[in-house]
Amino acid sequence: MRRAIGLSQSVKKGHLAIVVLLIVSALFVLVYRWIPERRLVLMPHPEGTYYLYDDSGIGGANTASWVNADQHHWRCRREATLESQFCGFNLALGHEYSQGIDFSDYSELVLALDYRTQADLITVFLRNFNPAYSTLEDGNSAQYIQFVIRPEDREPELRIDFSEFSLADWWMNQRKLERPYRSPEFNNITLLGINMGSNLPAGNNDIVIKHIALTGPWFSEKHWYLGIIVFFWSGTLLYLIFVSVTHRKKAIETAKKYENLADEHKNLYDKTQVLTEISRRDGLSGLLNRYGLAQAIEQWHIPSVAPVSLVMFDIDHFKRINDRRGHLEGDKVICRVAEILHNHSREQDVLSRWGGEEFLLVLPHTSTQQAHQVGEKIRQRIFNDEYFTAKKLTVTISLGIAAMGSEQSFEHALRRADDCLYRAKAMGRNCSVVETEDV
Ligand SMILES: Nc1nc2c(ncn2[C@@H]2O[C@H](COP(=O)(O)OP(=O)(O)OP(=O)(O)O)[C@@H](O)[C@H]2O)c(=O)[nH]1
């Protein structure tokens, strides 16, 4: 029952952990749109290198000049009579011509320009340097990637996705490029330019650059959701590992407890066995006591062990031995007599110290005649034994022998054996009396 409760509690905990992980994952999904975007300001930039250029040097119509350099206000003035080719603004990026800025971590170019011109075409372009197609000697060898700003695009803050940029045809046509290099590359942008060259209306065409920046998400949507999935599954995995470690620990603790209990149980069992044995034995002679004898006989199925005979032994004048030699020597006599009795009994016989100097031998499969013979043999043996070397002692015993019939109780047979013993004592001791009653 307790195990069942424990199990249902861990199932509940498991559900809770999964629900928490799901809620946190859902929160992460929602949080994505609130993560501020990554932003890199290119202009105004204290270290930015920028300059104006025009086609006046090659006989063109345009002259570029700063109206207010501090405010990044510049102008292209076109002479109506000459051909307009190019006029614009360049912002050098990176440290040297071949080492630009990696735009690929961003997704958009943000242009905040104040257009004070009626020019139809304003081109924003990027130059990407790649040794595969660029050389330091050829200033035109970096990819020319462009986006044309139409009058209708002119917002206070124009956002141009990099996917809207394309490679300029004139640049492509000048070189034979392998396929991978015929698409815009953004990993090493060395220059950003704003060109109002061709078809520029006559007169002043001004642009004020408020700022130019790159923006993009810190994490792509794909990576963000992948991260959430990884978070969810690693959370689940960690939880499962935690649960399995905890369960393993508990299982080890429980196994230890069971082991201790088993040890305790074995100790108790051993102690009980010892105590049981003690309770069945006489402390002085080591023979069974009355209780031990009763237990042994209880195991028997009397008809199967019949005939059964009882021999009751009693040391003669034992009081005298005690009185003359002391109780210690009396004890030694009891032990010796017990030893002789034990040596003369068979394995199936049950021998006990019945009282002070009384012994009872129960013999299965033995008639009273046979029991009488055994008893007599023992009596002779006890009589002939040497008890003390210094001051010799002769010990005699009296015996009463009776049969235990299948229908009779042990007590009944015992009483009759005792009667016979009494008669043996009365006959002068050191003899045996066999019951005459027909059982
Ligand atoms: N040393 C010793 N004496 C015991 C023990 N148990 C009983 N006795 C003594 O045994 C004596 C038995 O005396 P009685 O019952 O008068 O019998 P008895 O002297 O043997 O005389 P009969 O049986 O008539 O021959 C008593 O003095 C008891 O104190 C024991 O364990 N050790």
Cα–Cα distance measured from residue 44 to residue 47, given in angstroms and rounded to the nearest whole number: 9
Q: From atom 12 of ligand 1, which residue's Cα is the shortest distance away?
A: 319
Tokens of 66: 């700063």
- pLDDT tens-place string over residues 117-149: 999 889 999 999 999 999 999 989 999 999 999
| Ligand 1 centroid distance, CA of 315 (Å) | 8
- In this prediction, residue 21 carries a pLDDT of 86
- pLDDT tens-place string over residues 306-333: 899 999 999 999 999 999 999 999 999 9
- pLDDT tens-place string over residues 284-313: 999 999 999 999 999 998 888 989 999 999
Listed range (29-43, 245-259, 364-378) with the worst mean pLDDT? 29-43
| Ligand 1 centroid distance, CA of 318 (Å) | 5
Ligand 1 atom closest to 333 (CA): 1
Domain 290-434 class, CATH top level: alpha beta
- In this prediction, residue 439 carries a pLDDT of 45
Ligand 1 atom closest to 398 (CA): 25
Ligand 1 atom closest to 316 (CA): 25
Pocket (CB within 6 angstroms of ligand 1):
284, 314-319, 322, 327, 330-331, 334, 356-357, 425, 429
Domain 38-218 class, CATH top level: mainly beta
Q: Which of 289, 343, 307, 303 is nearest to 435 (CA)?
A: 307
| Ligand 1 centroid distance, CA of 294 (Å) | 23
Peptide bond into 217 cis (omega under 30): no
Ligand 1 atom closest to 330 (CA): 1
At position 330, the amino acid (one-letter code) is G
Domain ranges of the chain: 38-218, 290-434
Are 166 and 123 a contacting pair, CB within 8 Å?
no
Distance of CA 335 to the CA centre of its chain: 65
User: What's the chain's average pLDDT?
Assistant: 92
Alpha-carbon distances, residue 3 vs 10, 16, 174, 358 (angstroms):
11, 20, 81, 59
Alpha helices in 126-220 (DSSP H): 169-173
Q: From atom 32 of ligand 1, which residue's Cα is the shortest distance away?
A: 331
Q: From atom 13 of ligand 1, which residue's Cα is the shortest distance away?
A: 319
Are 227 and 219 a contacting pair, CB within 8 Å?
yes
* Cβ neighbours for 408, distance < 8 A, ≥ 6 positions apart: 439
Residue to mutate, 282, 319, 353, ligand 1, most ligand atoms under 8 Å from C-beta: 319
- In this prediction, residue 97 carries a pLDDT of 81
Ligand 1 atom closest to 327 (CA): 1
